[in-house]
Amino acid sequence: MDPLAVREISSCTIRPRRKLAQAPPQRCDLTPWDVRLLFLRYSQKGLLFHRPYPPDGQEEEPISNIIERLKHALSHVLVHFYPLAGRFVFENDASSSSSSSSHVYIDCNDAGAEFIHAFADISVTDVLAPVDVHPILQSFFPLNGAVNCDGSSLPLVALQLTELTDGFFLACSFNHVFGDGSSFWHFFKSWSEIYKSNISGENEPLVDISRPPVIHRWFPSRNPPPVSLPFSSVDEYIERHSFPRIRQRFFDLTGESIARLKAKANQEYKTDRISCFQALSAHVWISITRARALPADQLTVFGCPIDNRSRLQPPLSRDYLGNCTQIAVAIVNAGELLANGLGWAAWQLHQCVAEHNDDVIRSTYAGLGREFVLPSKLDNRNVGASSSPRFDLYGVDFGWEKAVAVRSGWDNKFDGMVLFFPGREGGGSMDLELCLAPEVMCALESDKEFMNLVSPFLLKE
């Protein structure tokens, strides 16, 4: 047997503890922001923890107790996030003049989530030791290769706790149609909050959470549900692509180095409006474009997801559950990008973000339901940002001390994808996961301007 193989110990379906709460509405409609993601893969993120050791004189909690507590807490958190325990239903539009249209919604039928307990004979340090992301990580995530539209038969969320020799990896595969990164970490953190309450028994009351999700989806008055889809069957659109040939590597950036980069960008463009994120994004965009050696007249795009919650008027709650993001893009020639420098590139990103307001959101809303993000449309000229340094992922607290690191699965990866995470040490630090073609990653690793800013992600004790 491969010593790095992940061995599944048990698997079960966890349903909401419905007897503890009023039955929910049976249907959850989906917005254009949701349905346009039907043909991407599930979102996959997970946290790496050291095994919690008890205070002196106390016995270590058996793993069987930890597993049961996780499952029990999951049954409670699914009451709060009840559509996540449902399944998609696709229906033809009987009232439509076209025979090739349909719509989709979530049937809140309490079909449940999947929970897996697994084991891998590898240590926390071993997981983080390689320069590139360790290949064993792929086996830490459930539902690998699942496409979001599979949520009609597969769970909308699946969790896996993989025991390591001295720690845990807790992974979540989350149907992206159900929610964006904010919704993902809202669910994950709420689960940990309930776990820490140490509930037990069959008749305890439902555990409250500090941030109850806002379940009702936002539809402007001109665009009521359901959203009409331009096909009668998902089989007409679905493309199950193999995972691309890329290298994945983490880089660790201190708050001080990012602050210097921001100051440089603002000084070059004679402004004070460029943010840390925009300066860093511009630096990464320039560095990757240089490593690709694109022709000067080749267009290159930087795509950045923007949270619409606070930009709508009136704004939506930060606890709004669902997808509430759109991609803002900056488009320039490669030669122009490399010639004009950091400040100019950062200003292009600043402008496309600043112009993303309530009018823009509403004007593009209706058409999104008929536009789908297909992996085949992603190419090697562009850079796409994902995740966010604003997500409080190190605030996910199961009582096992702060997570050692965050890792993502093989979901929707492509050459040019950059994932931004908050740094474990705080203070404005960030961690980047870069996904690049092997030859491009090698060129980037030889780029002194880029490597002088970053350092390889190291295990911090």
- The residue whose two tokens read 């669910």 is 187
80 vs 454: which has the higher pLDDT: 80
Q: 217 — phi, psi (to 5°)?
A: -75, 150
> 340, 290 in Cβ contact below 8 A?
no
Q: What is the 3-class SS of 164-183, one letter each residue?
A: CCCEEEEEEEECCCCCCHHH
Confidence grade of residue 460 (pLDDT, cut at 50, 70, 90): very low
pLDDT at 461: 39
- The candidate with the shortest Cα–Cα distance to 11, out of 166, 133, 117, is 117
pLDDT at 2: 56
- The residue whose two tokens read 């009987």 is 94
d(CA 140, CA 46): 9
Res. 456: pLDDT tops 70: no
Helices (H), 133-237: 181-196
d(CA 246, CA 259): 30
Q: Helix count (H) and strand count (E) of the chain?
A: 10, 16
Top CATH class, 247-456: alpha beta
pLDDT at 22: 62
Q: What is the dihedral of CA 375, 379, 383, 389, to 10 degrees?
A: 20
pLDDT at 55: 73
pLDDT digits (tens, 9 = 90+) for 174-216: 999 999 999 999 999 999 999 998 776 666 778 889 999 999 9
d(CA 151, CA 83): 12
State which fold the 6-236 domain adopts. Chloramphenicol Acetyltransferase (3.30.559)
> 4, 122 in Cβ contact below 8 A?
yes
Tell me how crowded residue 271 is: count the other CB atoms within 10 A of its CB: 13
Q: Assess whether 93 carries a catalytic annotation.
A: no
Catalytic, out of 72, 176, 283, 350: 176
Q: What is the dihedral of CA 249, 408, 410, 190, to 10 degrees?
A: -170
25 vs 340: which has the higher pLDDT: 340
- Whole-number average pLDDT of the chain: 91
Res. 99: pLDDT tops 70: no
Q: Which of 112-121, 242-251, 279-288 has the lowest mean pLDDT?
A: 242-251
Copy the structure tokens of residue 111: 């079909």
pLDDT digits (tens, 9 = 90+) for 50-60: 998 877 767 88
Q: Assess whether 176 carries a catalytic annotation.
A: yes
Q: How confident is the model over 4-16, as a mean pLDDT?
A: 93
Catalytic, out of 93, 110, 319, 397: 397
pLDDT at 458: 44
- The string of DSSP letters for 360-412 reads HHHHHHHHHTT----GGG--TT-EEEEE-TTS-GGG--SSS-S-SEEEE-STT
pLDDT digits (tens, 9 = 90+) for 362-416: 998 877 766 776 655 556 789 999 999 999 999 999 999 999 999 999 888 899 9
Report the interhelical angle of 255-269 vs 334-354 (nearest 10°).
100
pLDDT digits (tens, 9 = 90+) for 280-333: 999 999 999 999 999 999 999 999 999 999 999 999 999 999 999 999 999 999
- The candidate with the shortest Cα–Cα distance to 305, out of 183, 226, 239, 387, is 387
**Residue type present at position 355:** E
Residues 459, 190, 388, CA angle at the centre, nearest 5°?
50
Three-class DSSP category at 151: helix
pLDDT at 1: 41
Domain ranges of the chain: 6-236, 247-456
pLDDT at 345: 98
pLDDT digits (tens, 9 = 90+) for 258-292: 999 999 999 999 999 999 999 999 999 999 999 99
**Cross-strand bridge partners of residue 383:** 302
d(CA 231, CA 312): 30
Res. 428: pLDDT tops 70: yes
273 vs 95: which has the higher pLDDT: 273
* pLDDT above 70 as % of the chain: 92
233 vs 111: which has the higher pLDDT: 111
17 vs 187: which has the higher pLDDT: 187
pLDDT at 221: 84
- The string of DSSP letters for 286-297 reads HHHHHHHT--TT
pLDDT digits (tens, 9 = 90+) for 63-78: 999 999 999 999 999 9
Tell me how crowded residue 150 is: count the other CB atoms within 10 A of its CB: 21
247-456 has the same fold as 6-236: yes
pLDDT at 58: 77
**Cross-strand bridge partners of residue 116:** 11, 160
